[in-house]
């Protein structure tokens, strides 16, 4: 009987440990949405006014002149930045998510130059942003 109890206890512990390993990876891709700043800015490239959204992003990422992998016009050094709109028709950006594979987000780089950041460099969900 004593052997059985140890087996059940060890088996239960192993199942609990397995659950701890499996559960976080199941939610690792879930991202919180970008959030509204309740303000508006004009996007020079599009000539329109868009609502400002803040999103969590990787620091030091390049901002491209167009929604492609071309000319880098600046960098985003902060990890929470504001963005105006999303372009879903740019070049492939390396995003794992097929619905975001060509999504680029319009913003102002830290050096004052306007451009686009790869969606893959933004950890917040960018669906709430207005389409450019």
What are the pLDDT digits (tens) for 62-88?
Answer: 999 999 988 999 999 999 999 999 999
pLDDT at residue 91 in the model:
85
The pTM score is 0.74
In this predicted structure, the answer to whether residue 12 has a pLDDT above a threshold of 60 is no
CB atoms within 10 A of CB 78: 12
- Residue range 47-55: mean pLDDT, rounded: 97
CA distance 91 to 46: 18
In this predicted structure, the answer to whether residue 15 has a pLDDT above a threshold of 70 is no
Pairing of strands 85-87, 130-131: parallel
pLDDT at residue 95 in the model:
73
| Look-up of token digits 């050094």 | 77
With b meaning 16 or more CB within 10 Å and e meaning fewer, what string describes 90-126? bbebebeeeebbbbbbbbbbeeeebbbbbbbbbebbb
């Amino acid at each position: 009987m004593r052997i059985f109890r140890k087996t059940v206890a060890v088996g239960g512990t192993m199942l609990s440990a397995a659950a701890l390993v499996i559960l976080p990876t199941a939610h690792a891709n879930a991202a919180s949405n970008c959030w509204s700043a309740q303000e508006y800015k004009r996007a020079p490239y599009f000539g329109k006014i868009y609502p400002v959204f803040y999103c969590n992003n990787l620091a030091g990422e390049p901002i491209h002149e167009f929604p492609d992998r071309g000319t880098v016009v600046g960098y985003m050094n902060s990890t929470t930045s504001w963005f105006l709109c999303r372009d879903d028709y740019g070049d492939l950006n390396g995003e794992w998510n097929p619905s975001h594979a060509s999504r680029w987000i319009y913003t102002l780089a830290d050096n004052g130059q306007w451009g686009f950041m790869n969606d893959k460099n933004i950890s917040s969900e960018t669906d709430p942003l207005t389409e450019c």
